[in-house]
Amino acid sequence: MEYSVQSLGKMAGVSSRTLRYYDEIGLLKPARIHSSGYRMYGDMEVNQLQHILFYRELGLPLDQIKLLMNAPEFDTVRALVQHHQQLLIRRTQLNTLIQNVERTLAAQEGKIAMTDQQKFEGFKTKLVEENEQRYGQEIRSKYGDDVIDQGNARVLSRTMDEQKAVAQLSEQLMVVLKQAYKTGDPSSSEAQHAADLHRQWLSYHWPTYSKEAHAGLANMYVEDERFTAYYDALQPGMTVFLRDAIVIYTS
């Protein structure tokens, strides 16, 4: 089957203008251009558009979708598996939030008692979902589905005290890392303290800790522009500095 811009847009529920824009930015090119100048789309483009819309539904920006889909290692079956996993997480989050609202209403009416921890159920699921959306493909390909699924389960089972501890560790890491960077030496005591804080933070996310995996993650920070942007927001060059400190720490 072949589809024009108008017929494909109508079938997929997107505007013709959107499809033309996807063509302009190199996200979804037509299979061919008709002699009359119309864009024509075939089976491959239909499948690509489906992936794009899945990613859009999960909240990914167009530039990130393009990066993912144009990567040499992009695998359609694996992408569908990941879409399924992320949608299941979203469904779980929505169900949990609905139950949370219902319990909160019942608590407000004096029908039940509600603990402070119960009031925040569902928001941890959102944290897992956002992490999957931003980094799921990379970390799953590097560490495997089992490790990441176990890590997600740890996040979802955290107590309120553990949540606070993770937040405090994250804040402390950033403070110490900024101080360490001023030394210019990733082997300094300050830098090694930052690397140890990073290990402690990881231990709240990973089912098990290993030096090899820690060093591998640090290298991925440098290789992935999204991680680099996060740490370099503190100071340009901070990601490389942290990576070097962790490599020394784990050697």
Q: How far apart are CA 236 and CA 242, in angstroms?
A: 12
pTM: 0.48
Q: Report CA 131 to chain centroid distance, whole Å.
A: 3
Report whether 82 contacts 148 (CB < 8 A).
Answer: no
How far apart CA 119 and CA 104 sit, in angstroms, is 7
The predicted structure's pLDDT at residue 101: 82
pLDDT of residue 165: 84
Which residues on neighbouring strands pair with residue 4, listed in sequence order? 40
Q: Give average pLDDT by consecutive 10-residue segment, the chain, 251 residues.
A: 94 94 96 92 94 86 88 84 77 76 84 73 65 67 70 67 82 94 96 96 84 91 84 91 97 93
